[in-house]
C-alpha cells in the first residue's frame, strides 16, 4: 500500500478501532484466555529433534499458564491428539491450518471498548520480512481466531507483528525503528504514517521509538526481547552483562531514549534494569542465542518467565517479583523455544476479557 493510499484510508470515514472507541489494553489487564500455536515448521528448529524439543517446551509453557487462565492452542488437525497428550488435557485445541507457531506475531491484537465490547486487529503479516515461506495461512490466522470468537475484525493497512509493539494501556506504545521502519515491512510508509496507523488501530496517542542495531535478525529487533512496560510510567529494559555484547550499545541508546521520553500522559519514564543472561550461547545455526528475560508473559495473577540455566535466572526472577508484587512466578526452561527464534512472550497472545 502506498503512502497516498494509506492517507486516503485514514482520511476516509471508514470505521477503525480508535474512531469506534476501541483501544489495546495493557498485558497485565484481565484475560479471558491465552492463545498459542503448536510448532509445525520443522526448519525453524533445524530438524525433527529440535522440533520435538520445541513441542515439549511449548507444552511446559501451556501447562504453566493453564494454572492461571484458560489456554487455547491452535494446531493443524493432524496434531490435535499430540497437543492434548503433551499438555495433559489442560488446554483447548482450535483446529486450524497454520504455517508456523508464533501466536504473538501472527495472532490478533484484541481491543476493548469503553462499554466492554471487544474487537480485534488483523495486521498485515509477511513472515518477518519474507524470511519464511509459505506464510499465507499465518497471514489469515488472526482473522480466523477473531471469527471463532465472534469479534469484529479491523484489517490494518500496516505490516506489523504483535511482538513488535507493547503498550501501557494508557495511550503509550513502545516499538523499534529496526522493525517497523525496516524496508522489509513498510517500505512505502514514513515514520509519521506508521505512527498514525498505530494510533488508529491500537488507540494509542504516543509512540516511543527505540533504535536499531540489535543482534536479533530473526525478528529485526522486536521490542518484546528488549523492553516492556511494567506499569504506566515504568519500563523494564534488558541490560547485557558485558560491554562486548553486540546489543550493549543499542541497549544503552535505548536507555537514553527512554530516559529522555515522556509518555502519553506527559510523565517521565522510570527505567528498571533487568539483567540479561551472563552466558552467551549460540543456536543451531551458530548465531547468538536471543535469550532475554524481557520475553516473559503475564497471565492472570501470575508471571511465566524464562529460565536459561544461567547464573542470572534468579536475579531476573527477583526483579520481576519486585515489579509485579502479588503475582505467582513460574520459571520455565525456555532454551528450546529460543532456538527457534523467539521466547515465551513470542509464543503467547492474550485475549482480554
**Catalytic residues, which ones?**
346
**Residue whose C-alpha cell is 470515514:** 13
Q: Which of 161, 297, 293, 204 is nearest to 240 (CA)?
A: 293
Give the three-class secondary structure for 194: helix
Q: Long-range contacts: 264-269, Cβ < 8 Å, 24+?
A: 264/168, 264/170, 264/171, 264/172, 264/204, 264/205, 264/206, 265/170, 265/171, 265/172, 265/232, 265/233, 267/232, 267/233, 268/233, 269/208, 269/233, 269/234, 269/235
d(CA 241, CA 48): 33
What is the distance between the alpha carbons of residues 200 and 46, in angstroms, rounded to a whole number? Answer: 39
Q: Are 175 and 209 in contact (CB under 8 A)?
A: yes
For 128-143, b/e burial (b = at least 16 CB within 10 A) is bbeebeebeebbbbbb
At how many degrees (to 10) do helices 3-11 and 191-202 cross?
Answer: 30
What is the grid cell recorded at 142? 488472526
Amino acid at each position: 500500500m502506498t503512502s497516498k493510499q494509506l492517507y486516503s484510508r485514514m482520511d476516509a470515514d471508514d470505521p477503525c478501532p480508535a474512531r469506534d472507541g476501541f483501544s489495546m489494553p495493557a498485558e497485565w489487564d484481565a484475560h479471558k484466555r491465552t492463545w498459542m500455536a503448536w510448532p509445525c515448521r520443522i526448519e525453524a528448529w533445524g530438524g525433527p529433534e529440535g522440533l520435538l524439543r520445541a513441542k515439549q517446551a511449548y507444552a511446559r509453557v501451556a501447562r504453566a499458564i493453564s494454572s492461571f487462565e484458560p489456554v487455547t492452542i491452535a494446531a493443524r488437525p493432524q496434531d490435535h491428539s499430540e497437543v492434548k497428550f503433551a499438555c495433559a488435557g489442560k488446554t483447548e485445541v482450535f483446529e486450524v491450518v497454520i504455517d508456523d507457531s508464533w501466536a504473538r506475531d501472527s495472532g490478533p491484537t484484541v481491543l476493548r471498548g469503553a462499554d466492554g465490547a471487544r474487537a480485534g486487529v488483523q495486521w498485515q503479516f509477511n513472515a518477518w520480512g519474507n524470511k519464511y515461506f509459505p506464510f499465507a495461512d499465518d497471514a489469515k490466522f488472526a482473522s480466523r481466531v477473531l471469527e471463532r470468537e465472534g469479534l469484529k475484525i479491523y484489517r490494518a493497512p500496516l505490516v506489523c507483528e504483535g511482538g513488535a509493539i507493547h503498550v501501557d494501556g494508557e495511550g503509550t506504545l513502545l516499538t523499534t525503528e529496526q522493525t517497523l521502519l525496516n524496508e522489509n515491512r513498510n517500505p512505502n510508509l514514513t515514520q509519521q504514517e506508521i505512527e498514525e496507523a498505530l494510533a488508529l488501530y491500537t488507540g494509542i496517542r504516543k509512540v516511543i521509538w527505540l533504535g536499531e542495531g540489535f543482534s536479533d535478525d530473526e525478528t529485526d529487533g522486536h521490542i518484546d526481547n528488549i523492553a516492556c512496560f511494567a506499569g504506566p510510567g515504568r519500563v523494564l529494559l534488558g541490560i547485557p552483562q558485558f560491554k562486548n555484547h553486540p546489543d550493549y550499545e543499542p541497549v544503552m541508546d535505548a536507555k537514553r531514549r527512554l530516559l529522555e521520553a515522556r509518555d502519553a500522559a506527559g510523565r517521565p519514564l522510570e527505567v528498571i534494569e533487568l539483567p540479561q543472561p551472563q552466558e552467551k550461547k549460540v543456536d543451531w545455526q551458530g548465531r547468538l542465542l536471543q535469550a532475554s528475560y524481557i520475553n516473559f508473559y503475564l497471565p492472570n495473577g501470575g508471571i511465566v518467565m524464562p529460565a536459561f540455566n544461567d547464573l542470572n535466572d534468579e536475579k531476573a526472577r527477583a526483579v520481576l517479583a519486585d515489579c509485579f508484587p502479588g503475582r505467582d512466578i513460574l520459571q520455565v526452561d525456555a532454551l528450546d523455544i529460543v532456538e527457534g527464534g523467539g521466547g515465551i512472550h513470542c509464543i503467547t497472545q492474550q485475549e482480554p476479557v
